[in-house]
Structure 1
Amino acid sequence: MQLISTDASAARGLLDRDDLLQVLDRAVSRRVTIISAPPGSGKTSLLRAWAERATTVRHVTFVSVDRDQQDAQQFWCTVLDALAPETHHAPLDADQLVELIVSELAGHVDPVLLIDDLHELRSADALRQLEQVLAVLPSSARVVLSSRRDPAIRLHQLRLADEIAEIRAADLQFTERETRELLASAEVSLSDGGASALHQRTEGWAAGLRLAVISLNGHADPERFVAEFSGTDRAIGEYLMAEMLERQPSEVQRMLLRTSLVERLNGELADLLTGRAGSEQLLLELEDANAFVLSLDAERTWFRYHQLLADFLRLELRRTAADEVPALHRRAARWFADRGEVVEAVRQTLAAGDWPDAARLVADHSFRWVLDGQAGTIREVLQAFPEGASVDHPDLALAHAAAELNQGRLEEAAAQLALAESHVQSAPPARRRRLSVAIASLRLAIARRSGQFSEVVEQVNLLDASMADEPSESMAMGSELRGVALLNLGIVETWSGRLADAQRHLSEGAALAQTIGRPYLEVACRAHQGFPSKVVSVAAARERGRQAVALAERYGLDDRPILAPALGSVGGMAIWMGEFDEGERWLQRAWTVASTSIDPAAAVLLHVATGMLHAGRGHHRSALEAFTAAAQAQSLLTGVHALAPRITGWLASMHARLGSLDEARATLAGFSADAARMGVLPNARAVILLEEGDPAAAVEVLRDSRSSAIVSPFTHVEAHLLAGTGYLRLGERDAAVAAAEEALSVAESDRLIFPFALTDAAELLHALPGHRTAHGALLADVLDVLRGGPSPRPDQEPFDELSPSELRVLRYLPTNLTRPDIARELYVSINTVNTHIRNIYSKLGARDRSSAVVRARELRLLSAGRA
């Protein structure tokens, strides 16, 4: 399509918008096409370009309506003259006019009548006659109507017949690609970023782009011009003044000017700023008139102005009513603040020049923004304040501390927090308590994020004492601070391995958050409860993690970094149970939500789980890299992470399995004796000895940890498997079988399959006769995983739940025991066993013992873990 030409120095080329011409080609297949868009959208250019191309196959007639045309006879005479320039037409009545127009159209082959600037036609008679023409058009005729607003004619019958095509402002907007092509055609050199910025500022508006290109051509600094380009540009302003603002009634002009200082508005806010009612109706009419007013919701209650129009209007407001501007900003600020729109209220308060008031607004809400998971909002708001404003204002220093903490810049956050604290005593008494509460909460968060675990516990104790001493203080504020304290304390206890204490405090924090209506705080507490302990099984921990994720999804918080521990724990539990593909899916999601400034303690968890995934699949090099990353994250903490011994042990094991025995021994060197008693490090030493070819020494190293009561089940299983491997290499087959059986026994309650994959226990397990093990179902599942086969999901199909007694009988079905044998083992009668077996077959849909075992394995009823 050809743009309206500019002077020779500005535009030496023409831009063909073939895509847009094809849109009009398709539209003209309908009887009537409506082109409705704001001034300067390129409607006339499109019609002329299309007419030039279409005249080779169609009879195209182009008519442009004169400005403020109110004479119907004059309008139709213009149309008739364009259709039949050789013919003289005497004045005719309405019916004769319609008949003659239709007759002229019928006399041409594939005629197309293009009527431009239809919005200038102010004659009701002419519009009514146009309706009649459209109703009786010859079947081969087409009419295209171009206007700044939808024409005031009835088209419902044609719409019902699917004979109306529409091209609107969005269709006419230049794309970013077309913007670049336009710049190139005018020989304007601009960076990709500059071209993109120009497109965004103009919103693809053709006239705005054209005027910008005229100014850019030959400009000494095009990049700077684009950076500063706005509706305050003189050429843009003149165009908008002549084509838009001056055409509006005085009350509309007043509304546009006084509402331009807000980025979005509704009728109520517009009424407040203009001091008169009826603004919503005006806004709706302006949108209908394509007057650069855009609705933001389906109900058309919220609106915004085109960026360039808003810029121009604000400049014009300052020019014509500068003394009113601060008061208008204050009105808008109060309106937004009363409705909880704090960010916009702060912007308006700053625009009014009242930055101390804006600082108080930020401080009053920054603590709650953090509690609601909107800490990023703080940085956005702070960018509008004067440089260095926080030096003299503790409220802003606090907000800066929260913003820095959210970005993971702990030193900067601590510096801002110290600055805020130095101003507390000079603050008004009414604000002192609020400032102290915010400072305490941020100090807790900084200590926890930096791994200062002991300091967190100390701070929580001080807060407890502080709140107990001031019972008259605001209950809401105390509850919020208590919730933050419980969250941070529970997280520290989790990463410190004090899981029972963590469970108690996180549960209390979550319940309190629910009571006071703080869903982000509730999700944060629940996200750290998905970890197994002596009283919480792997399956139960996994379910807790899933529940935390479901809670986050319910609140729309499932993309927040705080959810990473829950996602990581669910993935980790799946990996422990041998479901590597499932674990990988959860870990991928965890890494997706984890921000670049993720809490180092949570990063430790994700790196460890990732290393487990690689190790379980036999990818030792990738596992080594993940465990190394976990160790690096641990080094950022001043406290010791509960996973630190396991990281060290597995890191050493990966080095050993990759043949780097010196690195493996160096990794273990210097670790404390207390950590060694946990059994993790003896396991790693055994791996090194096995790789060195000394199985006897490996078995000896594992002797204490295999019998220790303080060793976790995970480590216990691994120790038995390593010992079994050592015995096998020593030729002590019976001892190897016993160790493997003991490993299965410890693993069965939690279905711990990962240790078998970690230690590559296939050879050891094959030495175990299947008919002699009491854990045949788990053994079969483990061998499936080691062979790389699928790990069936327990929720594949619904089934009737088995009773505890039926489950006890079911566990004996994979063995060679007969029904009388099973009865003797369970101390019940043979009839009871028979009844239970019949029920098992019925509930599982099985025909015999063999098919019942297969189905039970699929459903993991044989080794599903304790509740």
Structure 2
Amino acid sequence: METSPTRQLLLATKLTMPQSYAPLLVPRTYLYHQLERGAHHPLTLIAAPAGFGKTTLLTAWLRQQSSYQVAWLSLDSDDNDLARFWCYCLTAFGRANPDLEVQAQRCLDIHRNDPIKDMLAAFINILTTYPDPLLCVLDDYQHIHLPAIHQSLAFFLEHLPLHVHLLVSTRTDPALPLVRLRVRGQLLEIRSEELRFDLDETAQLFNHGMKLQLEPEYLCDLLRATDGWIAGLQLVGMALQKMPEQKEPPVTMSSLIAINRHLSHYLNEEILMTLPDDVREFLYITSILEQVKADLCDAVTGWDNAEAMLEWLERANLFSAVPDEEGGWRRYQRFLLEFLRQQLSQKYAERLPELHSRASHWYEQHDMPQEAVEHALAAGAYERAADLLEAHAWPLWMQGQIPCIFDWLTQLHPYIELQQRPVVAYLSACIYLYTGQWERYGYALDIARHSQRGRQDSEMLSCIYDLQACYAIYTGNGKQALTYTQQALDANRYKPLLSSFSHVLRGAAHLCGGDIQQAQVELTLGQRIGKQMNSPIAIASGQLHQGRLYTMQGQLREAMKLYQQCSSNRKDCMAWFARQAHLQAGQLYLEWNELVRAQEQLRMAQEESEQIEGGSVYSMLAAQLAWAGGKVEQALQLLDQAEGLLMHKDGQTYALAQLVLLRTRYRLALGHVGPVQGMLQNSYPSNLEERSVLEQELWLQAKARLLLARRRPAEVIQLVQTLLPTIKAQGRVADELQLQLLLIQAHYASGDIRRTRHVLEHCLILAEPGGYRRLFLDEGHVLMTLLSELYHRHQKRYTGDLHSHVLGYVHTLLLEFGCDVEPRDWKSWQKRAQRAQASLEQLSGRELEVLKLIAEGNSNQQIASTLVVAESTIKTHLNNIYSKLNVNSRLQALTKAHTVGLLEI
């Protein structure tokens, strides 16, 4: 066969599928299925920036195929010649099918001087005579920019035989009729969103492919930093393989770029240097923005061509997602954005203040105060930032932007005077309260308060009262909090947005006094108004305090649902509330003895914000977890740490009482009776009756435990019975359970087995719905013994006192204690219980007495004497018993009674 002059110029390697020089580490099964689907469309388009694994995906999939003949063409910038392009294409088809090779070459030779459409029409006719499925891959199509090639390829696509399919891989969208093909259902698209790695694929790359064995949390951080960009992940992996093990690995894209020059070079050479100069400068300047749109970019750059630029960039697939249809907002690929910002700081550092200032003014004019403040701060325009913050403080605050405001104030404080800015002073007081900086809180609050003298700013005044109520609640002073919240409502009676938070705080204040009923009224009202007004701060705080109310009622599962909602709504939930929700959820998991989950909540609370107040609560929960895990010394050290944090703060008497009770329990469990007695003597409040009800109960519990350890059960019983009526009346199940457990042990120490059993069974019925476990486990051997005795006693007989699910709960508790307990045959037990219940309902009370006396071996005469009745009456009772139990003798009656559980063996 004669070779044409044109064909002699062709490179054979461009017509060969690339060979992978590294083993394919991560199979892309889902994408393989997508490509399989694409083979039933005229065109499959794979469009994404460099490094998303387009070519690797295609070659991996094609090597698995046996049902398709494949024509492959790798394109470059030299192929922007119409004749050369189609010469390559037809030659690729010929290499795919030997029978087609001669026909393709003849078509090229015959139609060398004809219009391109004539040559294509002839070749399409040839393709129709070859019915085998045929795939043609055009790789790196972004190099093609000649309009004539795009037009001829569109014609080719329009008339493609059904068994021929085209796959185009490109960094930029080709100038083909994609919209028309999309509408007709003739196009399948795979873009960067589908190509980027997910968490499982990232783990497979690092842990299996690169043998790095990274922790799941770090993998999540890497995935977030790179947006799943495959080339970035691979280059990061190579850098991590060379990094010393003891060095902390980087987790942000900027730090990854800083430690990996290969990553920086790749981004520069494969992406930025392939762009026109004006596009590259546009990217640098607009990288100060989190999201871009045309008029904003025009304002920042000072140009007037942003719309055209953004359209160009969209075709280049440099945005992470399709634009917002309503607002027209776009966002650059994350990996590219961080690199652009690094380059911007090096190339245009002197222009940064001006650029940020332009952005700030645009955001202010378009009612986007959060972004306006941030760019004003970035521009170093601190007075302007403070002006913006004061102008928009209330909506931002009520929308729950506490973390943002915290960051802004931290940046502003060195440059502004609080005395001149009362709103900033108030916001600073809020932040100081949440971060436990009491002296600064008082100073800033005084400035805000004094600024209101002679003014009628009801909104500001209401917020100040609510802030004072927060402090009162935080220190356990519910009465004072109620006074402040009433003043807040009086000052702002007609503005529900603020009153919603005031009502939530009133609910929290009632909880400080144990008044659950009134707390529920206020919390319900506050949350309802908060939802109506879409106030995240009222909703989140309401969830927290409602969760606390549920916990006090023993409804632990309902409380957990609220804590999970509060901590998961990151968009609406502020850092302080999220941290508290994690801590409270950790406390519940601890109570359920799910120590791993509790530890995870503790970790998440720490991550949420290390600046937010709550260190003592954190340390006390950590101490309880350490104790539950058998780490005694660590638990005691953590309590010391919590005490150190509390001693530096005024008004923390309630938290100190909690700490003293924990220390009392742990020290007594270790047998340190003397030291505990000394501790309580030194720290016991002389003005206890002036403290809140809940705080008083904590100190009295500590006292009762010491009395129990000193073998003075009668005093314990008296003390507990003094406290119980109020607690029961208020429905505080959690507190009642704590006291009932003390009562159980006191009765047991007194030798009163009947009362011990009665209180224990009552306690189990109360505790079972909430699934309490550590409540019993932390009491140790005495409770284990009593639970074991109760369990085995109820296995032998049915008393009608405990339901089967409660006995199942006892079984679970014994397993948690580590007891070797045989599992019950609950089905059989329930049938037996039903029979016993039926027998109980048949027999009268007097007949049951007679039956028990018979079981003790008494004669009819002895029974009559005991019951002070005639012997004939006993005979009548016996006949009734025989009839109801369907037996004929005393022995049969006793046997039947034991069988159904009426009598204890």
Please give the TM-score of this superposition, normalised by the length of structure 2: 0.59
Q: Look up the match of 1:374.
A: 401
Q: Distance between the aligned counterparts of 1:587 and 1:727, measured in 2?
A: 39
Give the direction of change, closer, same or farther, for the CA distance of 1:41–1:343 in structure 2 (3 Å limit): same
Which of 691, 695, 701 is the aligned partner of 1:680? 701
Q: Secondary structure, in 3 states, of the residue corresponding to 1:528?
A: helix
Q: Secondary structure, in 3 states, of the residue corresponding to 1:152?
A: coil
Q: Distance between the aligned counterparts of 1:80 and 1:573, measured in 2?
A: 70
For residues 158-557 of structure 1, the aligned pairs below 5 Å read: 175-180=231-236, 197=253, 209-210=265-266, 240-242=275-277, 244=279, 262-266=289-293, 283-284=310-311, 286-290=313-317, 295=322, 297=324, 301-305=328-332, 307=337, 329-335=360-366, 337=367, 341-349=368-376, 355-382=382-409, 387-390=414-417, 393-417=421-445, 436-446=461-471, 448-449=473-474, 451=475, 453-454=476-477, 458=480, 461=483, 464-465=486-487, 468=490, 475-476=494-495, 479-488=496-505, 490-492=507-509, 494-495=511-512, 497=514, 502=519, 505-507=522-524, 509-514=526-531, 516-529=533-546, 541-542=555-556, 545=559, 548-549=562-563, 552=566
Q: Distance between the aligned counterparts of 1:443 and 1:504, measured in 2?
A: 22
Which of 735, 744, 748 is the aligned partner of 1:725? 748
Are 1:689 and 2:689 matched, yes or no? no
Q: Distance between the aligned counterparts of 1:538 and 1:515, measured in 2?
A: 27
Say whether the 8 Å CA contact 2:661–2:702 is kept in structure 1.
yes
TM-fit CA distance, 1:111: 11
Q: Look up the match of 1:121.
A: 146
In the TM superposition, what whole-angstrom CA distance separates every residue of 1:675-730 from its partner, at most 9, and x where no partner exists? Answer: 5997524531244235xxxxxxx3344353255365754455234322333234xx
Give the direction of change, closer, same or farther, for the CA distance of 1:100–1:21 in structure 2 (3 Å limit): farther
Give the direction of change, closer, same or farther, for the CA distance of 1:396–1:68 in structure 2 (3 Å limit): farther
Which of 709, 713, 736 is the aligned partner of 2:753? 736
Say whether the 8 Å CA contact 1:530–1:543 is kept in structure 2.
no
TM-fit CA distance, 1:103: 7.7
- State the one-letter code of the partner of 1:562: F
Q: Look up the match of 1:249.
A: none
Are 1:821 and 2:838 matched, yes or no? no
Say whether the 8 Å CA contact 1:349–1:357 is kept in structure 2.
yes
Say whether the 8 Å CA contact 2:586–2:601 is kept in structure 1.
no
Q: Which has the higher helix share?
A: 2
Say whether the 8 Å CA contact 2:399–2:535 is kept in structure 1.
yes
Say whether the 8 Å CA contact 2:75–2:143 is kept in structure 1.
no
Give the direction of change, closer, same or farther, for the CA distance of 1:664–1:171 in structure 2 (3 Å limit): same
Q: Look up the match of 1:708.
A: 722
Q: Look up the match of 2:868.
A: none
Say whether the 8 Å CA contact 2:257–2:263 is kept in structure 1.
no
Q: Distance between the aligned counterparts of 1:467 and 1:591, measured in 2?
A: 38
TM-fit CA distance, 1:121: 1.9
Which of 114, 117, 122 is the aligned partner of 1:92? 114
TM-fit CA distance, 1:439: 4.5
Which of 674, 677, 701 is the aligned partner of 1:665? 677
- State the one-letter code of the partner of 1:120: H
TM-fit CA distance, 1:586: 7.6
- State the one-letter code of the partner of 2:404: T
TM-fit CA distance, 1:362: 1.7
Q: Secondary structure, in 3 states, of the residue corresponding to 2:330?
A: strand
For residues 583-622 of structure 1, the aligned pairs below 5 Å read: 589=601, 592-593=604-605, 595=608, 596=610, 600=614, 603=617, 607=621, 610=624
TM-fit CA distance, 1:626: 7.8
TM-fit CA distance, 1:763: 3.9
Q: Distance between the aligned counterparts of 1:782 and 1:504, measured in 2?
A: 33
Q: Secondary structure, in 3 states, of the residue corresponding to 2:144?
A: helix
Say whether the 8 Å CA contact 2:466–2:502 is kept in structure 1.
yes
Q: Secondary structure, in 3 states, of the residue corresponding to 2:400?
A: coil
Say whether the 8 Å CA contact 1:329–1:349 is kept in structure 2.
yes
Q: Distance between the aligned counterparts of 1:774 and 1:182, measured in 2?
A: 69
Are 1:656 and 2:668 matched, yes or no? yes
Say whether the 8 Å CA contact 1:367–1:438 is kept in structure 2.
no
Say whether the 8 Å CA contact 2:646–2:656 is kept in structure 1.
yes
- State the one-letter code of the partner of 2:369: V
Q: Distance between the aligned counterparts of 1:271 and 1:440, measured in 2?
A: 45
TM-fit CA distance, 1:774: 7.8
TM-fit CA distance, 1:334: 1.3
Say whether the 8 Å CA contact 1:490–1:501 is kept in structure 2.
yes
Give the direction of change, closer, same or farther, for the CA distance of 1:127–1:299 in structure 2 (3 Å limit): farther
TM-fit CA distance, 1:395: 4.0
Say whether the 8 Å CA contact 1:60–1:113 is kept in structure 2.
yes
Q: Distance between the aligned counterparts of 1:772 and 1:170, measured in 2?
A: 62
Give the direction of change, closer, same or farther, for the CA distance of 1:201–1:614 in structure 2 (3 Å limit): closer
- Percent identity of the aligned residues? 16
TM-fit CA distance, 1:122: 0.9
Say whether the 8 Å CA contact 2:142–2:170 is kept in structure 1.
yes
In the TM superposition, what whole-angstrom CA distance separates every residue of 1:400-432 from its partner, at most 9, and x where no partner exists? Answer: 444444444444444554565677779xx78x6
Give the direction of change, closer, same or farther, for the CA distance of 1:723–1:584 in structure 2 (3 Å limit): farther
Q: Distance between the aligned counterparts of 2:55 and 2:551, measured in 1?
A: 73
Q: Distance between the aligned counterparts of 2:171 and 2:622, measured in 1?
A: 64
Please give the TM-score of this superposition, normalised by the length of structure 1: 0.61
Q: Distance between the aligned counterparts of 1:120 and 1:746, measured in 2?
A: 80
Say whether the 8 Å CA contact 2:506–2:519 is kept in structure 1.
yes
- State the one-letter code of the partner of 1:718: L
Q: Secondary structure, in 3 states, of the residue corresponding to 1:330?
A: helix
In the TM superposition, what whole-angstrom CA distance separates every residue of 1:433-487 from its partner, at most 9, and x where no partner exists? Answer: 65555554444445544x2x45x8557636745874x6xx7832xx555554554
Say whether the 8 Å CA contact 1:68–1:120 is kept in structure 2.
yes
Say whether the 8 Å CA contact 2:466–2:484 is kept in structure 1.
no
Q: Distance between the aligned counterparts of 1:23 and 1:765, measured in 2?
A: 55
In the TM superposition, what whole-angstrom CA distance separates every residue of 1:789-848 from its partner, at most 9, and x where no partner exists? Answer: 799xxxxxxxxxxxxxxxxx99994996754339999xxxxxxxxxxxxxxxxxxxxxx9
Give the direction of change, closer, same or farther, for the CA distance of 1:646–1:389 in structure 2 (3 Å limit): closer
- State the one-letter code of the partner of 1:209: H
- State the one-letter code of the partner of 2:783: A
Task: Give the root-mean-square deviation of aligned CA atoms.
Answer: 6.7
Give the direction of change, closer, same or farther, for the CA distance of 1:79–1:210 in structure 2 (3 Å limit): same
- State the one-letter code of the partner of 1:175: A
Q: Distance between the aligned counterparts of 1:268 and 1:627, measured in 2?
A: 57
- Structure 2 unmatched ranges of 5 or more: 1-19, 63-68, 95-103, 197-228, 689-695, 728-735, 819-832, 850-895
Say whether the 8 Å CA contact 2:374–2:408 is kept in structure 1.
yes
Q: Distance between the aligned counterparts of 1:277 and 1:787, measured in 2?
A: 76
Are 1:562 and 2:577 matched, yes or no? yes
Q: Distance between the aligned counterparts of 2:468 and 2:355, measured in 1?
A: 43
Q: Secondary structure, in 3 states, of the residue corresponding to 1:659?
A: coil
Say whether the 8 Å CA contact 2:46–2:170 is kept in structure 1.
yes
Q: Distance between the aligned counterparts of 1:102 and 1:315, measured in 2?
A: 58
Give the direction of change, closer, same or farther, for the CA distance of 1:632–1:565 in structure 2 (3 Å limit): same
For residues 14-29 of structure 1, the aligned pairs below 5 Å read: none
Say whether the 8 Å CA contact 2:482–2:509 is kept in structure 1.
no
TM-fit CA distance, 1:321: 14
